[in-house]
Structure 1
């Protein structure tokens, strides 16, 4: 795969993820997933599931518009399961710590099981260190 194709695929994902977290993944997002390596695909589908679950449950206090499994520490890949102990999510313009375990189908396109815990507010002074944004 050419670098430009990977770049385009990655560029499409934030657009799809920033759409309504309660909606099912749209066709553009699913096509973009096809262009990613399996590990990245698993992270993206699990990040989307984190957004959907937290927004639907109301546990975040506001709609979650971003989720990243790799903010404070890289997630662990165990076959079709992703364990993220150092993730973060954004809700109401603020970033918070989170951890989750996400099990997906072998093609890493569908989440089969997902559990999460929300954590402490990440102070804006640490956002740049963690690669976070407003």
Structure 2
């Protein structure tokens, strides 16, 4: 995927997500958008998802854990549909995209990012 037409610079988004991982905390879609200078709207959130996909593709190429899983809905602390469409399949998850089983999967994957980035420089 080309960076052209993306909502934000993938490097800037990656820096936000690495900082979140280093802090051991997920970050909401609206918080990421705000840090990028945007107000939350559904179209902006969908555009952000394209950048998140790009960031994760680059992380995978570098042998790093995925970061998009750190971006969550404020309502339930889980990633939105954009992550689940590819993420659930990638992790062999066939359950509902909400509820306790989904939360357990997300905590596990987020924990991998938290562990990897703890005490490490980007």
Q: Same fold (TM over 0.5)?
A: no
Instruction: Judging by fraction of residues, say which structure has more helix.
Output: 2
Larger radius of gyration: 1
- TM-score normalised to the size of structure 2? 0.31
- TM-score normalised to the size of structure 1? 0.29
Q: Which has the higher contact order (CA 8 A, sep 6+)?
A: 2
